Amino acid sequence: MLHLAGDIDMLTLPLVRAALFTALDTRPGDLVVDLSEVRFCGVRGFVLLAAMAATTASSGIGYAVAGVGPHLDRAATQAWFGQRLRRHPNTAAAVTATRHTQARSHADQP
User: Quick check: 49 and 81 in contact, CB under 8 A?
Assistant: no
Q: Give residue-wise pLDDT tens across range 60-75.
A: 898 999 998 888 888 8
34-48 average pLDDT score: 93
Q: What share of the chain in percent tops pLDDT 90?
A: 46
What contacts 24+ positions apart, CB below 8 Å, involve 85-90? 85/49, 85/50, 85/53, 86/53, 88/64, 90/36, 90/66
- Spacing of C-alpha 82 from chain mean position: 16
The better pLDDT of the pair 15, 91 is held by 15
pLDDT of residue 81: 75
Name the pTM for this structure: 0.84
Give the pLDDT confidence score for residue 37 in this predicted structure.
96
- Residue 75, pLDDT score: 82
Which domain does 12 fall in, by range? Answer: 2-108
CATH number assigned to the domain comprising residue 39: 3.30.750.24
